[in-house]
Structure 1
């Protein structure tokens, strides 16, 4: 792939497309990032004009690349690659594959993103299944990484072992330190969990890694503690956990707001603490953290929430450019080679019933 800084943004992926995507592209371009806005040119150009962009040939940091089709949430992911060859999401992947963009960002159908990644980028050699990774804030210890958060509902030991390695490489690339890895379970004792988690615990305990230190099990109560830097689980559990965290964060803000408004005294206290509350709200705002990388495919692809606003999508563009510049994919490829013995041992484990 040719070296380029441009990021391909699927302009027709999100719930409020293309308005949100166009605004996000403009925000990113004004911050110095080159963006290829992919979708129906006839709809994109007027939206750009409303935001003061009169050139869409790269001069203002934005290039419009026409794509005549879109992928909806109702489309079957396994069929869209063949049935909609000119879909905006798929064209984004093609641009990266041809070296015209460095990474893909989309707020569209996550299953279709996975299918496009597999069919256009291909799996990294040695990885059985790609996974979606996300970071969330903690009071101490910096962000924590959760993998998988939705790509794989049913997993075998080899999958979670590979998630541990990929999550560790992502964490060290994104946050700059050798991470501690834990497996999500219903207790900290070795005998806890399921056949799957016990097998993964045995494997990671028996095969020390140069890329991370294995902590053992972690529980739901450990998410916001400085216990581990990477939490490994299957996609079903990870997706539920992430949404519970997002809902809890929203609930806390609501409880605080209600408590502050109860009396004149609490209202005065709320005024004094307003800067702290504002900072807390910004920390807990999902839009502050951009998107979630799809790891295990041979390229950088960032999945944003369907309802993401311009700020979140612009953040997704920013982190896509960052991970491409930091050579995240080559780092993952090297780690796969360093963990061949671990992966071979995991494949010898029987799949849980």
Structure 2
């Protein structure tokens, strides 16, 4: 069984979306158990409409709900120890759950996750990783919203963690990794990116293949399995892609409905348009993973519906089933051991000279 601790109050629609998504997820994955945390007066009446979820769940009343517009510091002051978000994270810390999931305030979730679960040894700051639909299938992109102005070492840590996530979720034995940059030439870009690229090239890691710099259009092409960037650029890229998908959908609807010939063309190509709509549906890739913590934390879009929330549950399920944390610890350990060996070799050579 995979145990998911859920902040039932998180998101724009709170428990109604959470319970609908949990119901869908149970059909896909009958070996799920849910630990629901929220306000009893709100959650329990709605839970009666979902008997399968009720049978597969435990519920804990929480008197505090983190609001979507709370600042992280406010959320910590009023919600530490007693909010539904904190209690879901605490369930993972205590070993009562395998995954914590919330559609709530991203900044608050990041702050509470760091305080409650702490970061892994050697990781200074976590990263928010997203699954990105591409021409080839899917890629992992990180960071898309957690660590702005990441330095070279943090970018390397992101590469290690993103590679482990690709191995766990995309079933890629040795994922390809690229650093997002304004060009593929080695002299281009910020110093932190150039330094990280040089160090990754020199590391010659067995668990991933560093291919160099990639540009923005390489993300959608699926040029690499893992795209590494800092949160400012990553979040802009994510929101731009989501907006472009909606723009294309709007263009198609207008074009297909404007004339009789257009409507006829739609009827003849309905299957192709259904497939396109599915690929452009942001719900399909819902569920960002906070990497670098001593526990698996999934962030769902706040405005998603039941289908999207079910997909976020699916991401958490896959991460737990495929041993994400063990893979990250192994990859980080291999990199740091290789770095130590290089430093020793360099020091010895300098001593000889």
CA positional deviation for 1:300: 0.6
Bigger Cα displacement from structure 2, 63-72 vs 19-28: 19-28
CA positional deviation for 1:12: 0.7
CA positional deviation for 1:137: 1.2
SS at match of 2:135: coil
Query: Contact 1:29 / 1:62 at 8 angstroms: preserved in 2?
Result: no
Q: TM-score under structure 2 normalisation?
A: 0.91
For 2:76 and 2:141, how far apart are their aligned partners in 1? 28
Q: Which residue of 2 aligns with 1:116?
A: 112
Q: Which of residues 221, 228, 246 is equivalent to 2:224?
A: 228
CA positional deviation for 1:217: 0.8
Report Cα offsets for 1:200-254 as digits up to 9, x if no partner.
1111111111111111111112112242111110001000001101111111111
SS at match of 1:223: helix
CA positional deviation for 1:313: 1.1
Q: Which residue of 1 aligns with 2:51?
A: 53
Matches within 5 A, 1:95-106: 95-106=91-102
Report Cα offsets for 1:237-282 as digits up to 9, x if no partner.
0000011011111111111222222332222111111111111111
For 1:320 and 1:69, how far apart are their aligned partners in 2? 24
For 1:72 and 1:64, how far apart are their aligned partners in 2? 20
Q: Which residue of 1 aligns with 2:349?
A: none
For 1:256 and 1:289, how far apart are their aligned partners in 2? 21
- Greater share of residues in helix: 2
Residues 346 and 134 (structure 1), Cα distance of their counterparts in 2 relative to 1, 3 Å cut? farther
Does 1:310 find its partner at 2:309? no
Query: Contact 1:110 / 1:303 at 8 angstroms: preserved in 2?
Result: yes
Matches within 5 A, 1:65-144: 65-84=60-79, 85-140=81-136, 142-144=137-139
SS at match of 2:2: coil
Q: Which of residues 209, 212, 236 is equivalent to 1:213?
A: 209
Q: Which residue of 2 aligns with 1:350?
A: none
For 1:192 and 1:251, how far apart are their aligned partners in 2? 31
CA positional deviation for 1:306: 1.1
Q: TM-score under structure 1 normalisation?
A: 0.91
Bigger Cα displacement from structure 2, 75-84 vs 104-113: 75-84
Q: Which residue of 1 aligns with 2:4?
A: 7
Does 1:26 find its partner at 2:32? no
For 2:342 and 2:21, how far apart are their aligned partners in 1? 42
SS at match of 1:241: helix
Query: Contact 2:23 / 2:53 at 8 angstroms: preserved in 1?
Result: no
Query: Contact 1:8 / 1:101 at 8 angstroms: preserved in 2?
Result: yes
For 1:108 and 1:312, how far apart are their aligned partners in 2? 14
CA positional deviation for 1:160: 0.5
Structure 1: stretches of 5+ with no match in the other structure = 348-353
Query: Contact 1:184 / 1:232 at 8 angstroms: preserved in 2?
Result: yes
SS at match of 2:35: strand
SS at match of 1:224: helix
SS at match of 1:34: strand
